[in-house]
Amino acid sequence: MSRILDASACHNLLRSFLAEDIGSGDITTKTTVPAAQRARGEVIAKAPLVLAGIELFMEVFRLLDVTTTAEIFSQDGEELAPGKVPARVNASARALLTGERVALNLLQRLSGVATLTRRFVRAIEGTRAEILDTRKTTPGLRALEKYAVRVGGGRNHRKDLGEAVLIKENHIRLAGGVAAALTAAQAAKGRAAWIEIEVTNLDELGAALTHHPDVILLDNMSPLLVRQAVDVVRKSSAPKNIRTEASGGITLDNVREFAEAGVDWISVGALTHSAPAVDISFEIEPE
């Protein structure tokens, strides 16, 4: 679990998910299934997918039954074809039934994020660009969803507001302009991993370059305008290590155009806010 969260944080999160779903108790399972009944559950991919969250899936059942045993045949990051069985779990039948929905929701959600991320990464293969996520994550699931992005081959952008400075249009408006915002942001230079500013046109880009930010976010620009902006950055007298990032309106249909425009980063909010859950089933039988 260390690749996602430390054990304590992971258990606390999963317990909160279980508490939400179980409520005052799983009355259906308790009234229909004997307490001593053991069962085996089999995870089955029903569609092509990139697996993410299989250890979390198993941890749900371990929290409900300490005698749970698991057989994991596929690791996170593996591409599964329909019909593939990545894991089996043996536990109390009650534990499998009570934890099924939470475990499956997480596995389907995280595998969906990883699967969509892999599609974006594949779409730009051979270019210099990298696919990044955003903070457009599900509240409470950010660490898990950002883990799934990494599993899919993407990179994480800011994990939270305290990691880096990212000056967006509302900051610029309230600060009094691009120059004023970047000048003020220098106060965070020792604490921030990087200082980044969003620009929407070439005039704003020129103003930003005079203050040497670490990253310039080219927001909602066409691929042609992004190419022009990248050329401006490269020909400017600003430090040559300034990164460029494209964001806004990025889809699988146009992401390669943005990558070929020469940017370093392409951030895609859809990786986490719009990734569809993949089709995975969990079939339980008596042991």
What is the mean predicted confidence (pLDDT) over 220-234? 97
Residue 187: C-alpha distances to residues 77, 133, 190, 225 (Å): 40, 26, 8, 31
Indicate the pLDDT class of residue 237, thresholds 50, 70 and 90: confident
Return the percentage of the chain with pLDDT > 90, whole number: 94
State the Cα–Cα distance between residues 195 and 188, nearest whole angstrom. Answer: 8
Residue-level pLDDT at 239: 81
Annotation marks residue 214 as catalytic: no
Summarised one tens digit per residue, pLDDT across range 270-282 is: 999 999 999 999 9
Residue 159: C-alpha distances to residues 133, 135, 143, 144, 274 (Å): 10, 7, 8, 11, 18
Query: Which domains, and CATH codes, for the chain?
Result: 7-121+275-286 (3.90.1170.20), 126-273 (3.20.20.70)
What is the mean predicted confidence (pLDDT) over 70-94? 98
Annotation marks residue 227 as catalytic: no
Residue 51: C-alpha distances to residues 43, 67, 145, 152, 280 (Å): 11, 25, 13, 9, 10
- The catalytically annotated residue of 219, 227, 245, 256 is 219
Indicate the pLDDT class of residue 80, thresholds 50, 70 and 90: very high
Tokens 């066409």 locate to 222
Residue-level pLDDT at 1: 63
Indicate the pLDDT class of residue 27, thresholds 50, 70 and 90: very high
Annotation marks residue 101 as catalytic: yes
Residue-level pLDDT at 79: 98
Indicate the pLDDT class of residue 50, thresholds 50, 70 and 90: very high
Annotation marks residue 235 as catalytic: no
- The catalytically annotated residue of 135, 136, 155, 243 is 136
Residue-level pLDDT at 2: 57
- The catalytically annotated residue of 38, 40, 101, 119 is 101
- The catalytically annotated residue of 145, 196, 198, 204 is 198
Annotation marks residue 198 as catalytic: yes
| For residue 206, pLDDT beyond 90 | yes
